[in-house]
Amino acid sequence: MLKTESGALHNLKGNIMTDRHLIVGAGPVGRHVAQLLAARGSEVTVATRSGTDTGIDGVTHLKLDASDADALSAAADGVSVIYNCANPADYTTWEKFWPPLAAAFLVAAERSGAVYAITGNLYPYGPVDKPMTEDMPDAATDHKGRLRATMWAEAKALHDAGRIRTVEVRGSDYVGTGVGGNGHITRQMPGALEGKRAWVLNRKDVPHTFTDVLDTARLLIAAAEDEAALGRTWHVPSNPPRTQEQAINEVLNSVGKPAVKVSAVPMPVFAAMAKVVPLMRELRQLSYQWTAPYVLDDSAAREHFGMEPTPWDEVCRRTAVL
Instruction: Clarify whether residues 32 and 157 are in a common domain.
Output: yes
How many domains does one find in the chain?
2
Tens digit of each residue's pLDDT (9 = 90 or more) over 289-298: 999 999 999 9
| pLDDT the model gives residue 5 | 43
Instruction: Clarify whether residues 92 and 196 are in a common domain.
Output: no
Tens digit of each residue's pLDDT (9 = 90 or more) over 194-213: 999 999 999 999 999 999 99
The answer on pLDDT for 61 being more than 50 is: yes
45 in any annotated domain? yes
3-class secondary structure per residue, the chain: CEECCCCCEECCCCCECCCEEEEECCCHHHHHHHHHHHHCCCEEEEEECCCCCCCCCCEEEEECCCCCHHHHHHHHCCCCEEEECCCCCCCCCHHHHHHHHHHHHHHHHHHHCCEEEEEEECHHHCCCCCCECCCCCCCCCCHHHHHHHHHHHHHHHHHHCCCCEEEEEEECEEECCCCHHHCCCHHHHHHHCCCCCEEECCCCCCCECEEEHHHHHHHHHHHHCCHHHCCCEEECCCCCCECHHHHHHHHHHHCCCCCCCEEECCHHHHHHHHHHCHHHHHHHHCCHHHHCCECECCHHHHHHHCCCCCCHHHHHHHHCCC
Tens digit of each residue's pLDDT (9 = 90 or more) over 244-264: 999 999 999 999 999 999 999
Instruction: Clarify whether residues 64 and 78 are in a common domain.
Output: yes
Instruction: Clarify whether residues 28 and 111 are in a common domain.
Output: yes
Instruction: Clarify whether residues 148 and 279 are in a common domain.
Output: no
82 in any annotated domain? yes
Q: CATH code at 227?
A: 3.40.50.720
Specify the pTM.
0.94
Instruction: Clarify whether residues 14 and 135 are in a common domain.
Output: yes
Instruction: Clarify whether residues 219 and 269 are in a common domain.
Output: no
Tens digit of each residue's pLDDT (9 = 90 or more) over 77-130: 999 999 999 988 888 999 999 999 999 999 999 999 999 999 999 999 999 999
